[in-house]
Amino acid sequence: MKSKSLYWLLMTVLLITFSSANAQQTGKILRIGVLDSTTAAGSAVRLQAFWQEVRTLGWIEGKNIAIEYRFGEQKRDRLPELAADLVRLKVDLIVVTSTAAALAAKRATTTIPIVMTTSSDPVGAGVVASLAQPGGNVTGVSSLSVELDTKRLEVLKDAVPKLARVGLPLTSLASGISMASDLQMKEMRPAAVALKLKLEEIETQPDAKGLESAFKTAKQKQVGAIMTMAIPAFFAERKRIVELAVKYRLPAIYDQKEFVDEGGLMSYGEDYDDLFRKVAHYVDKILKGTKPADLPVQQATKFEFVINLKAAKQIGLTMPLGLLERANQVVK
């Protein structure tokens, strides 16, 4: 009986060892390429939840994975070259952080798996055939930025009494004209009309000088509030944008809570930490052999509404009680 028990114990240990070795590619370091249209500093916070989940799943840099970062530095025309560089390195998988980066990577390779962290309309942009059956070598998660823009406008109107004009900074640099403007504005314009709001669209360079100029223009156009769209370039410059909103005493709503973390007034949007954890699980599955075409593009299922009362006080705005009751988090 003892020998039989020992036999089964040894067989169990061997099976576990083999399974672990097979899953995590023991002895082989896999290379993950990261293609980002912004900057290292701008994307660090955004990718934090992703890398934490990757480590939880057993992938450790220097042990079984190596990471190759490529940053566009807010210059969209650099993305094709950077994507081609990752392909030349023969990385095992490419993680992309914007629609523009996804398109650049897709054009550079049809064989290396590509995983999107966020894309507002990957089907409309031509990144995947459909959400349910992406086909090809691209999958990942899709944000609902286009749909949520309308909701953010509604929240902004509820927050600011007698709001008539909303300043809308736009840029084609980081996300591409079709992604940054056409897709989101197609929903925004009729939504603004329904809410009896006039949108002041302001072409903006996502740097210190360009952002300052945009806020000056917004003030000249007598807007009553600012709304930033879900564009990586703006996320990278969130601290500067928040500071300018305070400087020009303009109520503002953002798409991510990280703006509120920097002192912004309020945010309404997807729980990006949850989205990025989903991406980590897709990366894990693909590195273990699953084909991207067999993984449907996932959409956000968790949302968060955050209000910063300290920021409201700074610009002399009293937040309605009904709005505070709807918030998931109120910062005092």
Residue ranges of domains in the chain, CATH in brackets: 26-144+272-299 (3.40.50.2300), 145-270+303-331 (3.40.50.2300)
pLDDT tens digit sequence for 317-331: 999 999 999 999 999
In the predicted model, is pLDDT for residue 275 greater than 70? Answer: yes
Q: Residue 15: its pLDDT value, please?
A: 45
* Cβ(40)–Cβ(69) below 8 Å: yes
Average pLDDT over residues 204-229: 95
* Spatial distance between the Cα atoms of 168 and 184, rounded to a whole number of angstroms: 11
CA 21 from chain centre, in angstroms, equals: 33
Give the burial class of 317: count Cβ atoms within 10 A of its Cβ; 0-12 exposed, 13-18 middle, 19 or more buried: middle
Average pLDDT over residues 42-59: 92
Q: Residue 3: its pLDDT value, please?
A: 52
Task: Please give the C-alpha separations between residue 292 and each of 56, 86, 95, 119, in angstroms, as whole numbers.
Answer: 21, 18, 12, 16
Query: pLDDT band for position 20 (50/70/90)?
Result: very low
Q: Residue 182: its pLDDT value, please?
A: 65
Both structure tokens of 171: 């840029």
Dihedral angle over CA of 132, 124, 168, 166, nearest 10: -70
At 122, phi and psi to the nearest 5?
-65, -25
At 328, phi and psi to the nearest 5?
-75, -30
* Spatial distance between the Cα atoms of 101 and 95, rounded to a whole number of angstroms: 9
Q: What is the pTM of this model?
A: 0.83
Query: Which secondary structure element, helix H or strand E, spans residue 193, and what is its range?
Result: helix 184-194
pLDDT tens digit sequence for 169-189: 988 643 443 444 566 777 788
Average pLDDT along the chain: 88
* Cβ(159)–Cβ(251) below 8 Å: yes
